Amino acid sequence: MTLIRIRSRDGIERLQINNPNATIADLKTLIEQHLHVPINNQTLSTDKHLLLAKTPNEIARFNDMSNPDTLIQTLGIVHGSLIFLAYEGERTIAGPKVVPAGSFGRKMTMDDLIAKQMRIVRQENAKCEMVSFDRDAANGFQNYVNESLGFGVKRGGFMYGTVSDEGKVEVDFIYEPPQQGTEDSLVLMRDENEERVVEAIALGLGMRKVGFMFTQTVGQQGKREYTLSNREVLQAVEMQGESELKEWVTVVVKLEVNEEGGADVHFEAFQMSDLCVKLFKEGWFETEVGEGDDPKLSKMKKDVVVGGKDTREVDNDFFLVVVKIFDHQGPLSSTFPVENRNTVITMRTLKNHLDRTKNLPFVKRISDFHLLLLLGRFLDVNSDVPALAGCVRAQATIPEGYQILIESMAASG
């Protein structure tokens, strides 16, 4: 017996195959029988990017499982493998046992009536057209969580950048607040004074907070069958709801095993669906996660309708809307040590940085968010910080007074 996982826009479902010589045609027949997707409406692939395809032409490019006579074992599909399924239209998904309501069961309350109308459906299109990361900023984050933390504990950071009129988000720096990460949870110990400096720098640079990035640990991945855990959904939707930015992006950084058996760092970007944000703001989510709770399910305080069935547990994937990822070379460098990590940043750190970059124009030497954050602690947050960041944005000559001040600060180290 082989058990494989089928991932579609509806989440992950399991399928049992008893024939050791099963072909793709056999697999499609089982999918039609058990998952209720007609054979002629199925597109299968071992490539997860199938679920990002929007048009029939894009879907047609995924043809690695198009030959019905191919043995699935020749594609490396074994017990526990994950296969991706795309299909058009709607289907009914098997749900939990229905709780009696109405004339043949308990009396329906107003909450029951609201729940009957609160249908959990997938949002197909994100409000964010795409997200692009500054290569140096993204590499600085992933190198730290990979090489220093070994993906052993969770780490997060707020992303700052710009949003175009077309809904394209560019991330140019990542601010890592004080935090405490474990294998399964991430607690941000936010510093209001420090965040005021961050916002002042962003203002001067013509940028704003555009999303949140966090890691999934190897411990999570060893026992997970989810894209985001229930804790991660709660944290992500709370932040998106607070931001009021319709293009707000949540980014997950994790290790994935490659074909050679090694591990590659992967970035995945999502938005929480409008319905998810609405449910959170209206208090539908159970916000306390118990030790025995299934991490791939979010618990509701009242019944909702999923796939035509009443339930209080919703697959987290229903709340996720995939966002395409690109990269770019942004206007800032990212060589200065990052705040709130294991290393202490002092004026000696500043001096070493300025000495190392002495052949560059002074504005280039300080065109680094993390360096500006250090300087901002000693400058007026309402005037000096935005003014200095504005010079960096324009790549203009730094006023002599600021330059003398910065060099004297470095010399004190």
Q: Residue 180 and residue 118: Cα distance in Å, rounded?
A: 36
Q: Residue 131 and residue 211: Cα distance in Å, rounded?
A: 10
Per-residue pLDDT tens over the stretch 358-396:
999 999 999 999 999 999 999 999 999 999 999 999 999
Residue 105 has pLDDT above 50, yes or no: no
Per-residue pLDDT tens over the stretch 119-173:
999 999 999 999 999 999 999 999 999 999 999 999 999 999 999 999 999 999 9
* Helix axes 369-376 and 347-356, enclosed angle (nearest 10): 140
Residue 251 has pLDDT above 90, yes or no: yes
Residues 321-349, mean pLDDT to the nearest whole number: 96
Q: Residue 117, Cβ neighbours under 10 Å: how many?
A: 8
Question: Tokens standing for 410?
Answer: 């470095």
Residue 101 has pLDDT above 50, yes or no: no
Q: Cα 221 to chain center, whole Å?
A: 15
Mean pLDDT over each residue of the chain, to the nearest integer: 90
> In this prediction, what percent of the chain has a pLDDT beyond 90?
72
pLDDT, residue 108, reads: 53
Residue 100 has pLDDT above 50, yes or no: no
pLDDT, residue 104, reads: 42
Task: For residue 3, give every residue at least 6 positions away whose Cβ sits within 8 Å of its Cβ, in sequence order, or none.
Answer: 14, 15, 16, 17, 79, 80
Angstrom CA distances, 80 to 13, 72, 212, 347, 352, stand at 12, 13, 31, 53, 51
Q: Residue 233 and residue 10: Cα distance in Å, rounded?
A: 16
* Residues 358, 410, 208: CA angle, nearest 5 degrees: 85
Residue of 379 and 95 predicted with greater confidence: 379
Strand pairing class (156-163; 208-215): antiparallel
Residue 336 has phi, psi (to 5 degrees) of: -80, 145
Q: Residue 91 and residue 6: Cα distance in Å, rounded?
A: 15
Angstrom CA distances, 365 to 137, 351, 398, stand at 16, 11, 11
Residue 223: pLDDT band with limits 50, 70, 90? low
The full DSSP string for 75-113 is GT--TT-EEEEE-SS------PPPPPBGGGSBPP-HHHH
The identity of residue 256, as a single letter, is: E
Beta strands (DSSP E) in 241-296 are: 249-257, 263-272
Least confidently predicted of 222-231, 242-251, 403-412: 222-231
Per-residue pLDDT tens over the stretch 187-222:
999 999 999 999 999 999 999 999 999 999 988 766
Residue corresponding to tokens 């949003």:
163
Residue 402: pLDDT band with limits 50, 70, 90? very high
Residue 102: pLDDT band with limits 50, 70, 90? very low
Residue 93: pLDDT band with limits 50, 70, 90? low
Residues 330-341, mean pLDDT to the nearest whole number: 96
Residue 97 has pLDDT above 80, yes or no: no
Residue 95 has pLDDT above 50, yes or no: no
Per-residue pLDDT tens over the stretch 107-126:
555 555 554 568 999 999 99
Do the Cβ atoms of 92 and 36 come closer than 8 Å? yes
Per-residue pLDDT tens over the stretch 3-22:
888 888 777 788 888 888 99
CA 320, 326, 329, 331 torsion: positive or negative?
A: negative
Residue 285 has phi, psi (to 5 degrees) of: -75, 140
Residues 237-252, mean pLDDT to the nearest whole number: 96
